[in-house]
Amino acid sequence: MNTKQTLIQICLLCAAMLQSLTSGAQPVTKVAAGYGHSLFLKSGGSLWGMGRNWFGELGDGTYNNTNQRPEQIVASNVIAIATGGFHSLFLKSDGSLWAMGYNSDGELGDGTFNNTNQPEQIVASNVTAIAAAAFHSLFLKSDGSLWAAGRNDSGQLGDGTYNSTNQPKKIVDCDVTAIAAGDFHSLFLKSDGSLWAMGDNTSGQLGDGTYNNTNRPKQIVASNVTAIAAREFHSLFLKSDGSLWAMGWNSDGQLGDGTTNNIFRPEQIVASGVTAIASGYLHSLFLRSDGSLWATGDNYYGQLGDGTYNNTNRPEQILATFNQISVQLLSDVSVRLSFVGIARANYALDRSFSLLPANWMPQATNPADSIGALVFTNTPDPATNNFWRIRSVLP
């Protein structure tokens, strides 16, 4: 058997083994993270949860935290999820809205201020999108109307008052296409690409050029906005040209403009090529069209994933174009394995002669370069089935 045949056999056997390991398993399709709890959906529409459950935010009928394994909350037909600080929302395929958890400010929208540890239907049909903040909730209906419930002390519901409500209240009649909820402010897009905001603005997170709160929706950008994200005191949005913009609190560099100064008007951070955004408490993440992941801001807990605990006030590449392995046969019958992973992380190349069982033997350890790329070169033994893996290792 020559080297090329060996390599082909390696690839086919590995693919077959992966298929057997994953057959019957349902892949995860969506995720959401609250202050201390997490939810995810599987492809069959089942809802799963884990973590803190002090107020029933997992919806499992108890107030017991779970850290062992994710537990199934709903068996099927869930299509969207959102997590607030201590409460959870989800949509079913019939357009119904469900909620559970903390409700002291009426954020569940069930007409009470009572917590619940089981999913409770809030709206029977026609809900198309959901967003959850620390203590308030937003949702859209199929007619493009925007609805809100919960705390309103900063005007985050946008109803013209500062009064909280425990029942969904219509805020905008039509044409709303997307929503995002910061802890005490709210953003939404209209069908004409305009960006609107309301609520807390003490750090400039509404982007209207002031630090004044507003309890009614205010237009921030007139057109061409395609995506929005909000968290504690800062906001992000994308335009149709792929540019990334930010405003608000910038104490840890979460806006990514090279400073730690708050900004009360939208500021362009990246000129083009951004496709998706997410905002954490004091950090921000985005994807570019080449599949690379970038981050900026607070890194006290390592949340940026750059191998340090140092904050950064400029976007930093965390992953290059998707983790991937390419294989190249060289003229000396050796095999070159090229891998793209995390910049400056350490990776080991291991070999096993069998997978039943595997007996992995370390061959080499190398650091990835500044964009996450590294190359291993080794020579398979034509007389045996050589199986290879690349794994990350601690420095």
- Minimal CA–CA distance to 14: which of 393, 390, 392? 390
What tokens appear for 386 in the block?
């050589």
3-state secondary structure 84-146: CCCEEEEEECCCCEEEEECCCCCCCCCCCCCCEEEEEEEECCCEEEEEECCCEEEEEECCCCE
Confidence of residue 365 (pLDDT cuts 50, 70, 90): confident
| Between 317 and 242, residue with greater pLDDT | 242
CATH number of 3-22+330-393: 2.60.40
283-288/293-297 β-pairing? antiparallel
Q: What is the pLDDT of residue 151?
A: 98
Q: What is the pLDDT of residue 351?
A: 80
Confidence of residue 271 (pLDDT cuts 50, 70, 90): very high
- pLDDT > 80? residue 40: yes
Domain extent listing, the chain: 3-22+330-393, 28-322
Q: What is the pLDDT of residue 307?
A: 78
Confidence of residue 13 (pLDDT cuts 50, 70, 90): very low
Q: What is the pLDDT of residue 368?
A: 73
Q: What is the average per-residue pLDDT within 132-147? A: 98
- pLDDT > 80? residue 391: no
Q: Name which of 127-136, 274-283, 355-364 the model is least confident about.
A: 355-364
- pLDDT > 50? residue 74: yes
Q: What share of the chain has pLDDT > 90, as a percent? A: 64
Q: What is the average per-residue pLDDT within 246-256? A: 97
Q: What is the average per-residue pLDDT within 306-328? A: 76
How far is the C-alpha of 27 from the C-alpha of 11, rounded, in Å? 22
Distances (CA, A) of 10 to 6, 14, 375, 381, 386: 6, 6, 19, 11, 7
Which range, 16-20, 33-37, 113-117, is most confident?
Answer: 113-117
Place of tokens 């929302």: 89
Distances (CA, A) of 235 to 155, 183, 281: 16, 11, 11
Q: What is the pLDDT of residue 359?
A: 83
- pLDDT > 50? residue 200: yes
- pLDDT > 70? residue 170: yes
Q: What is the pLDDT of residue 350?
A: 81
Q: Which amino acid is at 207?
A: G
What percent helix, strand, coil does the chain show, rounded to 5?
Answer: 5, 50, 45
- pLDDT > 80? residue 343: no
Distances (CA, A) of 343 to 129, 233, 285, 288: 36, 29, 16, 16
Q: What is the mean pLDDT of the chain?
A: 87
Specify the CATH architecture of the domain 28-322. 7 Propeller (2.130)
CB 203 within 8 A of CB 154: no
Q: Name which of 119-128, 203-212, 248-257, 304-313 the model is least confident about.
A: 304-313
Q: What is the pLDDT of residue 305?
A: 82
Under 8 Å CB-to-CB from 393, ≥6 apart: which residues?
346, 347, 348, 365
Q: Is the peptide bond before 357 cis (omega within 30 degrees of 0)?
A: yes
Place of tokens 């709206």: 123
The three-state secondary structure class of 162 is coil
Q: What is the average per-residue pLDDT within 55-72? A: 92
How far is the C-alpha of 123 from the C-alpha of 178, rounded, in Å? 18
3-state secondary structure 338-368: EEEEECCCEEEEEEECCECCECCEEEEEEEC
Q: Which amino acid is at 384?
A: T
The three-state secondary structure class of 3 is helix
